[in-house]
Structure 1
Amino acid sequence: MTELVRDHIYQPAEIEEKLKDLPFWFFAEGAIRRRYKTSGWKATLMVVNTVGHLCEAAWHHPEIKMTYAGIEIALSTHSPRGITEKDFALARKIEEVIFWQPGREGGVLEGTPRDAAFAYIDYDD
């Protein structure tokens, strides 16, 4: 990927088009955003730490707001001051990791039970 493509700043119409592949993300206040609902404080902390790890590994630093039972992530690329392909790539990786459900894969990893006593994150399905 060339520097020019990587740092291309998307315009609002282009952003809306690209967000069709990220259905729970939306564009507001100069960033692409996503809200996640969790089952409570411990789950919120796990999600925030997971997102933090992914962002640090990508060397991309979002705004994160957290409450007892949820977080909101806002992604924008600071150096060119806009929404770039970096934001969409990181949003896709966050979705992939946060919504990984190993129990649906049929392997040896069971995944979190759907029992309220073991609730973790509110999956969008």
Structure 2
Amino acid sequence: MPPPLSVLRSSRWLTPLILLLGGLCFSLIWILLALHLDRQAGWMALLAALDAALILRFTGMRRGPARILLAVTATVLMIALALWGIVASQLGFMLGLSPWSSAAKLGLAHAWTLLGLANTPADLICMAAAPLLAAFAAR
């Protein structure tokens, strides 16, 4: 038997909060994995897309364009946060800074240059395909 409608309405505010926490945790896992492997691990973008879509499904968000848009947006933000964290951590380790201190000092142009040097074509393909996978999985 499904829960009463009043329970479903009162828990709708949890969806963005759970998506935010899930996205932050996933980005942190991606950063740690990339630091451990000493490469970008662009394939994690595909898992980020599935993670966002599954979180939205499991929290009970209704089907439709809003769920698709939210899944795609969350995927893109997870990719951006993970890439920023990876670059900041690797650069911070070389300069003797903590990752969060390096992330605060890292400029956009410098990060873009370092990401261009670090990402392989396979990483870029995975990151480009991730929003499409999120849209497909969230429908």
Question: What TM-score does the superposition give when structure 1 sets the normalisation length?
Answer: 0.33
Greater helix share, 1 or 2? 2
Q: Which has the higher strand share?
A: 1
Structure with more contact order per residue of length (Cα contacts < 8 Å, sep ≥ 6): 2
